[in-house]
Amino acid sequence: MNPALTKFGTQMSKLTGVRAIMKDIIETLQAGQGQEFINLSAGNPVILPEVEQLWRDCTAQLLASSEYSEVVCRYGSSQGYQPLLEAIANEFNQRYGLRLNERNILITPGSQSLYFYAANIFGGYTNSGQLKQVVLPLSPDYTGYGGVSLTPEALFAYKPALEIDEAAHRFKYRPDFSQLSITPEVGCVIFSRPCNPTGNVLTDQEVSKITAMAAPLDVPVLIDSAYSPPFPSLNFTEMTPVFGGNILHCLSLSKAGLPGERIGVAIGDPELVGVLQSFQTNMCLHSSRYGQAIAAKAIASGALSQISANIIRPHYRQKFGIAEHTLDQSMPKDLPWFLHRGEGAIFAWLWLKDLPITDWEFYQELKKVGVIVVPGNSFFPGLQEEWIHTHQCFRISLTASAQEIATAMQRLALVTQQVYQRSAVVV
Ligand SMILES: Cc1ncc(COP(=O)(O)O)c(C=O)c1O
């Protein structure tokens, strides 16, 4: 069969960003031929025993209750399962002094779908033919944004400013406010905070500057809080989640141990929530109610936010510490390597300035010593201009064991030394 595809069909049947690289990684792992790999490419969270137990307990409660058949054997509301809407409203109202009610909340099948709805509701061509942009104010950002728009030309990312600490071999991306502009051509703004892939956390001031720029034009700002408090609380630096006005605060339960159940949440103005809900009704009716029911129990009991702060966050913070420490110990001091400040999420992000080969070639070199990381180039969706930096970075997943991370960073340091030395000889 070779069916004719529409424009949207062609667009949506392409693998974008990191998914395209995953194919090479899976083939490498399968072809292994006896070689053992340390795989630091995974985005799948670690199954932590306490987290797994929480979901088992919630499932047991659900199975034992009369609620079970209502949850599993019936369709429900597109907006979400009532007890989950209530649990989220209570949690956020108490914690952040908000006055949310159910009309402010939408449950989606994973948060990826939420970005898909928003990117196509607010971005793309209007009835009058005007192109509305989906703006990513700070590139690099989540690779999944690369595939969310049915109108790829709508995606527009801004190059960041770089804050570099040469002596410490650290750096941090900042939004470049001298470039960033929110014009009437902008349909919506999206960024992740904490950020996948870099672990960056935009400051409260940076966030309010962006939202204030978008507010006068009624441009929605989606703050992708997949790693934010109160769950999964994968911030290692202080940050305040932000709500209200033109902000759609977007959560995911995936990094809180429930990626298989596909639970995303949008919190915001009822008008914004309403259009997203209609899109969802047309597309898939609603999210899985089993996942929603166990999530309601874990949130309402307070267990999810507690486990997030006491188990999930320390786990990844410690792993980041191991990566950081090993790089500091083993990377050549005289080479221009820079680790992004580890402020959150489940990844480390390494920049090898003036790298003599591309990120893809370096990834191949690392494979030869049994280490897999993700070449950075796929984390710059929507960036229009050529920028050499996009071929000098790597995402290192913190989901491997402490020992594996340490060994992999030592091997990476050796490969770095060799690659720069080789080019010095050639010159
Ligand atoms: C920043 C960010 N946003 C969104 C997602 C999508 O998450 P999900 O659809 O599982 O909620 C991910 C997944 O890794 C992510 O890292």
Residues 6+ away with beta carbon under 8 Å from 307: 50, 51, 54, 256
Full-model pTM: 0.96
Residues 147 and 120 in one domain: yes
Residues 176 and 286 in one domain: yes
374-375 and 247-252 strand pairing: unpaired
Residues 283 and 372 in one domain: no
Residues 60 and 111 in one domain: yes
pLDDT at position 183, please?
A: 97
Q: How far apart are CA 351 and CA 349, in angstroms?
A: 7
Q: Could you tell me which residues are beta bridge partners of residue 145?
A: none
Q: Considering the domain boundaries, does residue 394 fall inside one?
A: yes
Residues 11 and 85 in one domain: no
**Residue 171 near residue 120, CB atoms below 8 Å:** no
Residues 61 and 26 in one domain: no
Q: Tell me which residue range forms the domain holding 40.
A: 7-48+307-426
Enumerate helices (H) and strands (E) in the chain, giving the number of each: 13, 16
Choose one of 304, 333, 349: the last residue of a domain: 304
Residues 19 and 148 in one domain: no
Choose one of 249, 279, 304: the last residue of a domain: 304
**Residue 102 near residue 317, CB atoms below 8 Å:** no
Out of 201, 248, 254, mutate this one to test ligand 1's pocket (max ligand atoms within 8 Å of CB): namely: 254
Residues 283 and 154 in one domain: yes
Q: Considering the domain boundaries, does residue 227 fall inside one?
A: yes
Q: Considering the domain boundaries, does residue 108 fall inside one?
A: yes
Rounded to the nearest angstrom, the distance between the alpha carbon of 226 and the centre of ligand 1 is: 6
Q: Hey, what are 214's tokens?
A: 């978008």
pLDDT at position 312, please?
A: 98
Rounded to the nearest angstrom, the distance between the alpha carbon of 252 and the centre of ligand 1 is: 7
Nearest CA among 373, 374, 352, 385 for reference residue 160? 385
Nearest CA among 342, 344, 343 for reference residue 324? 342
**Residue 104 dihedral angles phi and psi, to the nearest 5°:** -90, 0
Helical residues (DSSP H) of 285-401, grouped into ranges: 289-300, 303-307, 313-330, 359-368
Q: What angle do CA 223, 118, 230 make, to 5 degrees?
A: 30
Q: 417: domain CATH number?
A: 3.90.1150.10
Q: Which atom of ligand 1 is nearest to the CA of 115?
A: 4
pLDDT at position 130, please?
A: 97
Q: Could you tell me which residues are beta bridge partners of residue 250?
A: 224, 266
Residues 55 and 21 in one domain: no
Residue 109: cis peptide before it, omega within 30 degrees of 0: no
Q: How far apart are CA 381 and CA 311, in angstroms?
A: 32
Q: Which atom of ligand 1 is nearest to the CA of 111?
A: 11
Task: Please name the residue whose Cα sits nearest to atom 16 of ligand 1.
Answer: 196
Q: Considering the domain boundaries, does residue 297 fall inside one?
A: yes
Q: Which atom of ligand 1 is nearest to the CA of 195?
A: 1
Rounded to the nearest angstrom, the distance between the alpha carbon of 203 and the centre of ligand 1 is: 20
Per-residue DSSP letter, 140:
S
Residues 252 and 177 in one domain: yes
Residues 121 and 215 in one domain: yes
Out of 18, 107, 112, 261, mutate this one to test ligand 1's pocket (max ligand atoms within 8 Å of CB): namely: 112
Rounded to the nearest angstrom, the distance between the alpha carbon of 371 and the centre of ligand 1 is: 24
Q: Hey, what are 103's tokens?
A: 């009309």
Q: How far apart are CA 409 and CA 352, in angstroms?
A: 14
Residues 242 and 258 in one domain: yes
| Binding pocket residue ranges, ligand 1, CB within 6 Å | 43, 110-112, 142, 144, 192, 196, 224, 226, 252, 254, 259, 264
Q: Hey, what are 230's tokens?
A: 């109160």
Nearest CA among 21, 55, 54, 53 for reference residue 39? 21
Choose one of 243, 269, 304: the last residue of a domain: 304
Nearest CA among 216, 221, 219 for reference residue 132? 219
Q: Considering the domain boundaries, does residue 340 fall inside one?
A: yes
User: pLDDT in tens for each of the 427 residues of the chain?
Assistant: 999 999 999 888 887 777 777 888 888 888 866 788 999 998 899 999 999 999 999 999 999 999 999 999 999 999 999 999 999 999 999 999 999 999 999 999 999 999 999 999 999 999 999 999 999 999 999 999 999 999 999 999 999 999 999 999 999 999 999 999 999 999 999 999 999 999 999 999 999 999 999 999 999 999 999 999 999 999 999 999 999 999 999 999 999 999 999 999 999 999 999 999 999 999 999 999 999 999 999 999 999 999 999 999 999 999 999 999 999 999 999 999 999 999 999 999 999 999 999 999 999 999 999 999 999 999 999 999 999 999 999 999 999 999 999 999 999 999 999 999 988 765 4
By CB atoms closer than 10 A (0-12, 13-18, 19+), residue 334 is exposed
Q: Considering the domain boundaries, does residue 2 fall inside one?
A: no
Domains held by the chain: number: 2
Rounded to the nearest angstrom, the distance between the alpha carbon of 253 and the centre of ligand 1 is: 9
Q: Considering the domain boundaries, does residue 155 fall inside one?
A: yes
Task: Please name the residue whose Cα sits nearest to atom 14 of ligand 1.
Answer: 43
* Tokens 């309403």 sit on residue: 274
Q: Considering the domain boundaries, does residue 1 fall inside one?
A: no
